[in-house]
Structure 1
Amino acid sequence: MNANADEVPAAAAAQSSAPAAAADDGLRQPPPLLPWGEKPSPVKKGAPGATSNSLAATGADIAPAGAKASTLPVPEFGPKGFTNKKRTLRHSRTTVAPAPPVVGALREAEPKKAKDVKYHYASGWQYAETDGTSANVLISKPYLAEGDYHTLAEMTVQSADGMQKVEVGWVVSRNVNGDVDPHLFVYHWVDDKETCWNSCGWTQISKDVVPGDTLPTGVYKKFGIQQFDDAWWIAYDSVWIGYFDNKLWKDRYTKGGLVQWFGEVASSKYEPCTDMGNGTLAGKDTANRFNSLSLINGPKVAYTLESKSPHPDPDPDPKKPPVYPTDFYSDRTFKFGGPGDC
């Protein structure tokens, strides 16, 4: 899709809330249409272990992550941030050490001790009662500095108080995926408590697309989240990949109240060298974008932009530009990210 494209069918248009007949395997049935109004169709798969660059070169949509590929995602525990108007996670503690920059490199064993993780965000958000959201997202391969945990782009549907969350997007993380290619991820929060990457509470239905799979770089892909048949469904490109059942929240979270589209860097530093997006400052035309934002069974998109970073000074200079800025492009598209603060 053209990088400047903004208007695509926002199928975000209402779909029937009546689920299809129950499947014999006991799994819930996805909506008949994807969040952007198209019928599901097969993806083009690359070879297991293919790199993000090779996927883009061959026009493939996704590839199993080599030897790690499985029909069931493997849980990977590690730090994960969140942001909203009321509460933002700027710091957390973890005993998970950042993976070394060279895959398979040996490192001297260190005793496990809690380390401080600092979260940086560039986001667009909107409070709205909705059944979900979709967007075209530019998948990139940003530089991940040594000592940092991840850099990602995601969309999230949250409860109005921000306590319950469903997330989908792409992430570059040596800890989670073992390399520096962008990978598909899903995540959820229950009562503001973190879970784990790609597996906790997840129900897989697609035979072709699995959280953790490698994604092509430098191309736009559609991502979506939708409440349907008592579950939060996740879509990527042209397929429904699976869902988080409402039972995870004891049926208390069945409607979105806050939607966000944002970039996130989890760093060991207040001034990280890690790129967000494609490493280009948001004010430039070639910066990373969220395109064609839409709300499912909700109001018109009217997002607010915001950048947030932790700071060692309790009274930082208000004139200093954010590490990772955002920039308005159109009513349904915005730019975000940059090259860090080195």
Structure 2
Amino acid sequence: MKRVVSLSLGSASRDHRVVADFLQEQVAIERIGTDGDRAKLIELIRQLDGSVDAFGMGGIDRYIVVNQKRFTFREAEQIARAANKTPICDGSGLKDTLERVVVHQLADDPLIRLRRKKVLLVSGVDRFGMAEALVENDCEVVFGDLLFGLGISVPIRSLAGLERAARILAPILTKLPIRYLYPTGEKQETIKGSRFSKYYLEADVIAGDFHFIRRYLPDQLAGKIVLTNTVTEQDKQLLRERGVSCLVTTTPHLQGRSFGTNVMEALLVALHGKKGPLTSFEYLQMIEQLQLQPHIEWFQQAERASVDSRYFLPV
């Protein structure tokens, strides 16, 4: 049996473990949160290094890639270096491949109809593949990187603007501890108020990292579509209570839970057997081979539908 372990700076309350079959092989998939404790995270990596098939690194990006330019987070790189034998994945490979594919699939889906919708993408720099795919499908996108990452009330409304912001800010921000940019530990369970509710309410679709989406979640989101991943049953109940119409996770549900892209990327690497990240072509091959599908769930009774999301994923 193969074993994939995601070690996260996030809350331990979100921990989960499943055993599932992939390509006629059983794989144990586990998520372990360290409540923001970086030293504990590094120690766990060292303890498990060489005894598991692949690590996911959660709660922090190792890289962000904007228009083929890669920026490396100093803190994440220091954490990743604790693994000498087992490959470690942060999810950036799937964000640039699987998430592009999912957006193109949903563009003309008869129920989702993503094309030309108004979209709030809470952070575009860590999901540039999704950002490009949304723009390619004529969506009117607000990129919330300055809003949700820095708390600055300045929306970005174009890919060119997102690239400019990344070129200027990424070399500085990637040197900071991640806790200044992204909720870790118990902060992942906290809603800080509805400061940016205007942008949620103007959008048809709220997309991107769920912890950022949750951070300023308004009380009412009637009729909205949420496009994300890494959601628990408690997260889904929260969205139902706020009136969200439909939840789409870019990664499939495993025993009722959507794992993060870092976990799913580690799964693909473990199944492939490569001792490091795959190429874009290899990721797409594995996606097709495993028939990975987005998960679509309708919350509001009047809008429930039987959705067949078993798409063919072209390579």
- TM-score, scaled relative to structure 2: 0.30
- TM-score, scaled relative to structure 1: 0.28
Higher strand share: 1
Higher relative contact order (CA 8 A, sep 6+): 1
